[in-house]
Amino acid sequence: MSFGTLNAIALAFYILASVCYDAFVFLATPAAPITGKSKKADVSSDTDSENAHSLRWTGRVLLLLGVLFQFAATGVWCVTMHRSPFASEYGTLSVLAWIIAVTFALIDLRRNLPAVGAIALPVACVILFWAMLHVHGPVADTTALKSQIVSLHVLAILASYGLFALAFGCAALYLLQNRLLKQRAVNSLFHSMPPLASLDAIAYCSVAYALPLLTLGLGLGVADIFSKDSGATPSRWLLDAHTLASFGTWGLYVTYLGTRIGLGWRGIRPQYLLLVGLIVAIALYAIPSATHSFNTFSAVPAPPSHT
């Protein structure tokens, strides 16, 4: 099976999983509090609630299938092209989508937060779709990309961005839930949202894992610059807008973690910082870069559509 077909199947699974998670968020009824003397929850087993829970499990299965098919698609592409997935925009974005999907799947299994999936999975779908549009784009052919340091550098940074995207989703949900609570807007959306404390904790954990990864990625990048034998000066890499913006992003997340751990900040202000952080990270793609462009290294013809 070609990687194109595998990717299409993976995308279809992601879309269906997104629909399930979104439907669950709107259909699920809140668990009733314990009202009697016994320590048993007064949970009504109405049909709507049962349907909602079967939707959720269907979503989980579809998500796992999507993750498997996308992994297979990326593997097939690497084998076919004899390149790291980071040698093309398609591969890079595809891995990013995959990281987001895997991270959410782990969080959902551990923390039981379908509302986060209702945001994270559509984001993964969009990224994968965007990647598939660039499947025939240029593939970089340079010795630099064959280096394990560079591959690790890109992988670490992508993983951190996947986690930042998750933190962004949690922060967005936090602000939405905060708004609903302030406005006393009691509706099905309100009840389907995770507690503020859970959203805050997941966002914090995501950044706590992502920041070391970003630091590692940036560190490996800097190490690679200084280890290059080429005539290119390190300052050309370091003063590149892309690199500078990456350090700016890193600074924002360091500020977040610093205020959170050092000053004990909670509440809505840190959430705004998380929103700004990912917006800056995404803006990196819009900044023209002389050093981080696939076109710069393009030498390999675009892969055939059905290889």
**Phi, psi (degrees; rounded to nearest 5) at 298:** -65, 125
Nearer to another protein, 197 or 283 (CB): 197
Least distance (Å) from another protein to the CB of residue 211? Answer: 20
Q: Which residues contact 280 (CB under 8 A, 6 or more apart)?
A: 245, 248, 249, 252
Of 94, 186, 82, 187, nearest in space to 139 by CA: 82
Does the footprint of another protein cover residue 269 (CB under 8 A)? yes
CB of 44 to another protein, least distance (A): 8
Region class of 264: left (phi > 0), else alpha (psi between -120 and 50), else beta: left
The CB-of-126 to another protein minimum distance in angstroms stands at: 28
Q: Is 33 in the site for another protein (CB under 8 A)?
A: yes
User: Interface residues for another protein in 247-266 (CB under 8 A)?
Assistant: 263-266
Q: What would the x/- binding string for another protein be over residues 168 to 207, using CB under 8 A? A: ---------xx--xx-x-x---xx-xxxxxx--x------
> Whose CA is closest to 208, among 249, 163, 273, 175?
163
Angstrom distance (rounded) from CA 121 to CA 109: 15
Pick 174 or 237: Cβ nearer another protein = 174
* Shortest distance (Å) from residue 31 CB to another protein: 8
Judged by beta carbon, residue 32 or residue 283, the one nearer another protein is 32
CB of 90 to another protein, least distance (A): 39
Of 144, 268, 300, 302, the residue at the interface with another protein (CB under 8 A) is 268
Cα 126 from Cα 255, distance rounded (Å):
29
Question: How far is residue 56's CA from residue 62's CA, in Å, rounded to a whole number?
Answer: 10
Q: Which is nearer to another protein, 11 or 273 (CB)?
A: 273
Nearer to another protein, 48 or 234 (CB): 48
For the CB of residue 100, give the shortest distance to another protein in the complex, in Å: 23
Cβ distance to another protein smaller for residue 8 or 176:
176
Asked if residue 53 binds another protein (CB under 8 A), the reply is no
Between 189 and 241, name the residue whose CB sits nearer to another protein.
189
Give the helix/strand (H/E) hosting 239: none
Q: How far apart are CA 145 and CA 140, in angstroms?
A: 8
At 33, give phi and psi (nearest 5°): -70, 165
In sequence order, the 6+-apart residues with CB closer than 8 A to the CB of 107 are: 113, 116, 166, 202
8 A C-beta contact, residue 28 and residue 191: yes
Question: In the complex with another protein, which residue's Cβ is closer, 151 or 178?
Answer: 178
Is residue 110 at the binding interface for another protein, with CB under 8 A as the rule? no
Count of residues engaged in binding another protein, rule: CB under 8 A: 32
- Considering the complex, what minimum distance in angstroms separates the CB of residue 5 from another protein? 42
Interatomic CA distance for residues 274 and 207, integer angstroms: 9
To the nearest 10°, report the CA torsion of 120, 124, 126, 129: -160
Asked if 138 interacts with another protein (CB under 8 A), we say: no
Contacts to another protein by CB under 8 A: 30, 32-37, 39, 42, 177-178, 181-182, 184, 186, 190-191, 193-198, 201, 263-270
